[in-house]
Amino acid sequence: MAPKKKGGAKKGKGEKKPAKVLMYHDEEYWNNRYTKHPEPFDWYQSYKELKALLTIYISKDQVNMNVGCGNGLLGEEMVLDGYVNVISIDNSAVCFEQLNARYKGKKEYTGLTWFRQDMKELKMLKDLTIDNVIDKGKLPFT
């Protein structure tokens, strides 16, 4: 009789291969992606599409943290629309450099701050009070 193959339960129809999901955890994956596609890209929904929903739950004078912000325009468009404090975090070094190049020293983006930070660690939080956490397209990949 042939020996049983190792490897746990058989994958069901339609289940994703772990490799595909796991790559979204990998900083290198995102660094490569942002290097190849440096232009701003918003996953799923733009600020314009989310604006009405955000207005229901958060007010413009609150502290909002956008986790896994990527190189999209959500944080930028929020501050241009009057949100006074948007903190964008992402752990991709390439993404962080792109945000630096786009926003550093630009007066119109006062109110927007960005950090290279792993959302699972959030060491910075011990000194911060956050009213709202915005997660657009991060948790599904977590």
Select from 79, 90, 103, 114 the one that contacts ligand SAM (CB under 6 A): 90
Report which residue type is found at 47. Y
**Least distance between ligand SAM and beta carbon 37 (Å):** 11
Nearer to ligand SAM, 67 or 109 (CB): 67
Collapsing DSSP to helix, strand or coil, 12 comes out as coil
Q: Where are the alpha helices (DSSP H) in the chain?
A: 18-22, 27-36, 47-57, 74-80, 93-103
Instruction: Count CB atoms within 10 A of the CB of residue 80.
Output: 14
Q: In angstroms, rounded to a whole number, what is the distance separating the alpha carbons of residues 68 and 91?
A: 7
By CB under 6 A, is residue 70 in contact with ligand SAM? yes
By CB under 6 A, is residue 30 in contact with ligand SAM? yes
**Least distance between ligand SAM and beta carbon 118 (Å):** 4
By CB under 6 A, is residue 91 in contact with ligand SAM? yes
Select from 47, 54, 72, 83 the one that contacts ligand SAM (CB under 6 A): 72
- How many amino acids of this chain bind ligand SAM (CB under 6 A)? 21
Count Cβ neighbours within 10 Å for each residue of 96-130 and write b for 16 or more, e otherwise. bbbbeebbeeeeebebbbbebbebeeeeeeeeeee
Instruction: Report the interface residues with ligand SAM, using CB under 6 A.
Output: 25, 30, 42-44, 68-70, 72, 89-92, 95, 118-120, 136-138, 141
